[in-house]
Amino acid sequence: MSPINFREIPPEKQRKLLLVGSLALASALLFRRQISVSAELVREAVVTKPLPPKRDPSTPTPAGRLFWPVDLSRVRIGPKFMGHAALKTYRHGYGYHTGLDFLTSAVGLKVVAMADGVVVSSTPTASRYGYGHNVLIHHPALGVWTRSSHLYSRDVKAGDVVTAGQQIGRVGDSGTDNVHLHWDVIKLALPNPRFNPHNPATGGVRTPLSGLDPVEEALVRKYFQDPLAFLNARSALNPVTQKVAHA
């Protein structure tokens, strides 16, 4: 087959051949680039991107709905957070209230977990005036701990994974002299599960007979936060919960 002299081809056909050649070259270059990009994506997916880690079944899922620890229609909310209250620790004295009291005459009222979490401790406190039967729960998705105290009974043990709204105990008067639930929201890991800022035996300070101790105040503010403000700010997460104020 003899070679074709491009100059002998009519101008109209020359333009068509040039157009076809340009399109063919562009297609070849694009195809080559696609192969290169595809190879890079495959190499990145296979070589550089590890598989997602398997979820630890003991780790709670992120918190969704939040619950008040007791049925609000059955209780009255008592002394507020950081209020000055007479505290019966080793002796009568004044101190700062670390949490919120839910007052009731109904011994055995159900107490539930505020959110998904892991039980850190479930234990009675030895002293007469302490936390009594209490349950401390860590809520990783919220970055806080909650402690339910003065319980009549405890339904969970250390290491248990609990879900929001799950029963963890019942209201009582252990460690105190009147029926109520003392409920703390803790923002920093405690020095120990029994830590009480009013009790020197647990790492706290002895409350004075009169006046207020600035060291005790600093301990309360360091570890605790206002439970009422905490849940009220998040009440939209729980359609059953309504914002409440101190009685």
Taking only the tens of pLDDT, the chain with its 247 residues reads: 555 665 666 777 666 666 666 666 666 655 555 545 455 544 554 444 455 555 444 444 445 678 999 998 899 988 778 775 545 443 444 577 888 999 998 899 999 999 999 999 998 876 655 789 999 999 999 999 999 999 999 999 999 999 999 999 999 999 888 899 999 999 999 998 888 887 777 787 766 555 567 888 888 899 999 998 888 887 655 444 445 444 3
Task: Tell me what pLDDT residue 61 has.
Answer: 46
Cα–Cα distances in Å, from 4 out to 7, 13, 20? 9, 13, 17
Instruction: Please answer whether residues 114 and 231 qualify as being in contact, where contact means their C-beta atoms are separated by less than 8 angstroms.
Output: yes
Instruction: Please answer whether residues 62 and 141 qualify as being in contact, where contact means their C-beta atoms are separated by less than 8 angstroms.
Output: yes
Task: Tell me what pLDDT residue 245 has.
Answer: 46
Query: How many domains is the chain built from?
Result: 2
Would residue 25 count as lying in a domain?
yes
Look up the domain containing 38 and give its range: 9-48
Q: 3-class DSSP state for residue 159? A: coil
Task: Tell me what pLDDT residue 102 has.
Answer: 93
Q: Do 140 and 222 reside in the same domain of the chain?
A: yes
Would residue 224 count as lying in a domain?
yes
**Which residue spans within the chain are E strands per DSSP?**
76-77, 84-88, 92-96, 100-103, 110-112, 117-123, 133-139, 144-154, 161-162, 167-171, 180-186, 224-225
CATH of the domain at 87: 2.70.70.10
Task: Tell me what pLDDT residue 57 has.
Answer: 42
For residue 181, count other CB atoms closer than 10 A to its CB: 25
Task: Tell me what pLDDT residue 180 has.
Answer: 93
Q: How far apart are the first and last CA of the chain?
A: 105
Q: Do 15 and 106 reside in the same domain of the chain?
A: no
Would residue 242 count as lying in a domain?
no
Task: Tell me what pLDDT residue 60 has.
Answer: 44
Task: Tell me what pLDDT residue 229 has.
Answer: 87
Q: Do 38 and 77 reside in the same domain of the chain?
A: no
Q: Do 183 and 230 reside in the same domain of the chain?
A: yes
Tokens of 237: 């997460």
Q: Do 40 and 103 reside in the same domain of the chain?
A: no
Q: Do 36 and 133 reside in the same domain of the chain?
A: no
Identify the DSSP state of 48: I
Would residue 111 count as lying in a domain?
yes
Identify the DSSP state of 236: G
Q: Do 125 and 206 reside in the same domain of the chain?
A: yes
pTM exceeding 0.85: no
Tokens of 76: 């009255």
